[in-house]
Each structure stands twice: as C-alpha cells, then as structure tokens.
Amino acid sequence: MSSLPERLFSLPFVFRGKHLFSVNLHLAVREVSLPDALAGGRSDDSSDLFVPAGVDGCLLCKVPDPGWRTHTLYDDRVAYVLARDTWHYLSLAGGYDGFLENRYSAKTRESFARDEARFAAQFGGALDLREYRSAAQLAEFAELSRALCGDAGQVDVVRAKDLGGLVGFVLFADGAPIACLGLQSQGDTLLYVCAGEREDFRQWSAGAIVHLQAIRRLFADPGNRYVDFRPGDCEVKRQFANGALRSAVVLNLRRTLRNRLILSAYSLTRQLSAGREEAAVVPEAIRELLVFAG
C-alpha cells in the first residue's frame, strides 16, 4: 500500500439537502495500486494499517472492497466506508487481436472494423492518429485536448503533465483534432486521465476509434501490463475494460471519544438521508483525490 501526502479534509454533515457543518480531519492518505490489488495479499486489509503519529487517522482512497460493513468499531479504531464503486481495468496480457476476440462478439468486432474503414475512407484514406510524449508534444496535447475533454478533463491533463508520464493520443480528421485520450504512465500501468470527442463526430465513432487505436499501440509495447481506468463507473470504461474489482473509500480514525462521536453522527445523518441525493455525498477533497490521486 502506497502513502500519499498527508491532507486536511472537511467531512460534511448534510441533512435533507442542507449543509449543517463540517469537521476538519488531518489524515494520512493511502491507496493500493492496481497490480497490488490484483495480486491480493494483505493490501486490502484495513485492520493491518498503521496510523502515523500526529494525524486523526487514515483515508484509504482506492482499495479493494472485500465487503466491509459501512460503520465498524474496532479495538484500535473506528471505520466508515464513505463510498463504494467499480474499479475497471484493462489487462494487456496477450495480443491486441486476442483482446478483441476475448472481449467482443464477432458482430461487434466487425462493427469496429467497419467504423474504422468508413472513417478512413471519408477523411484522407487512412487514420490520422498522433501520439504525444515529449515535453513539447505534451504542451501541444494539453492545448488540443482543452476543447475535447471539458474543464474537468483539462484540469486532469495539466495535473498529469506536471507529475510526469503523461501520454496523449489525438485522432484528426481533415487536419482538425476530433477525439483524444490521455493516460499517465506509472511503471507498467497506465492510469486513465481523460478522453473526449467532438459532438459532431460521434456519428463517426471517433471516441471508440481513438481508444481502440491507442489500445492497439499499448499492446505492442511489452512493458505495459494494465490500463487502470480508476474507480468510477461509466460507459467508456465498461466498453474497453476486460476486468473489474469492487473498490471502496474508507475512513479509519483513531478510537477516541471524539472520533467515535464524529462517525456516529455522520452515520446517523447518512441513514436519515437514505434515498436522498445527499446520502451519496463524498467530501469534495476526497472526490478530487479519487479522480486524480496526488
């Protein structure tokens, strides 16, 4: 389990749509990498975590969920599962053709091939997919992806660019960027950063084409093992992933009277809000961490 910088989080108490108050917590942030999660071991066992001195507890922001109870009192801590989600990933074992055959029906594979051929025939006779890796190229990718990924996606691109390891793919039509995909390389794993396409090119399946062509290139590099789509369920992730885990965001606080009261009150407000939108509220700082750790 890897450790990220300690952070100050505000835990919001929301009842019937009204924000009552927030409690600040100084937390050590930890997460499990996709390879470690798939390898099993004890990385998903919250009872084995050490809480460093000087903090209120630990925030496990991306860990496999073995089926923890939502609110649990342990001998040395009190834990609360803030959120549960699906953690999609793509295993790059084997070859690209094997991936297509194992993941999609013959009809779907024929549809992919037909879409690519139709697109190429309409726009220049061949697919114009460009890859961005150098500093100068990534500066260009950041600009090209601005209009395709939206504001949230652009923030993630800038963060990945600053941290290093960003890899960009852009599909062009008649010299204009129409779809893109951004990944961040971390060892043998590529983290999904952003993806986007122009609305007027959805009819050409531009988004699917850029994903499949990028995945083809990733399979060709034996140093790549996984694409980590990160927790969060959406159509794009379901379409191109070939595996999934259940994941959780878990808050572990020291077993003190204050912390027990905090999580008991938090649990009560969530229970009373069951079925309402605020029941799914995750602190904004934690949500940002889930989208892009670091």
Report the pLDDT value the prediction gives residue 6, as an integer from 0 to 100: 83
Report the pLDDT value the prediction gives residue 198, as an integer from 0 to 100: 95
Query: In this structure, is the dihedral angle defined by the CA atoms of residues 255, 258, 259 and 264, taken in order, positive or negative?
Result: positive
Quick check: helix, strand or coil at residue 284?
Answer: helix
Report the pLDDT value the prediction gives residue 278, as an integer from 0 to 100: 46
Directed axis angle between helix 146-163 and helix 135-144, to 10°? 150
Q: Whole-angstrom Cα distance, residue 17 to residue 83? A: 18
Q: Contact, 168 vs 134, CB < 8 A?
A: no
Please give the sequence-ordered ranges of beta strands (E in DSSP) within the chain, or none if there are none. Answer: 2-15, 18-31, 57-64, 71-73, 77-91, 128-132, 166-173, 176-186, 189-197, 226-231, 243-254
Residue at 144: amino acid letter: L
Report the pLDDT value the prediction gives residue 153, as an integer from 0 to 100: 77
Cα dihedral: 47, 50, 53, 58 (round 10): -60
pTM, full prediction: 0.87
Tens-binned pLDDT, residue by residue, of the chain (294 aa):
676 678 888 888 888 778 888 999 999 988 889 999 998 744 445 444 567 788 999 998 888 999 999 999 998 899 999 888 899 999 999 999 999 999 999 999 999 999 999 999 999 999 999 999 999 999 999 999 988 988 777 788 888 888 899 999 999 999 999 999 999 999 999 999 999 999 999 999 999 999 999 999 999 999 999 999 988 888 999 999 999 999 999 999 999 999 999 999 999 988 887 655 544 445 554 555 454 443
Among 277, 273, 280, CA closest to 83: 280
Report the pLDDT value the prediction gives residue 19, as an integer from 0 to 100: 82
| Helix, strand, coil distribution of the chain in percent, nearest 5 | 40, 35, 25
Among 259, 202, 294, CA closest to 80: 259
Report the pLDDT value the prediction gives residue 208, as an integer from 0 to 100: 97
Report the pLDDT value the prediction gives residue 279, as an integer from 0 to 100: 43
**Tokens encoding 61:** 């922001």
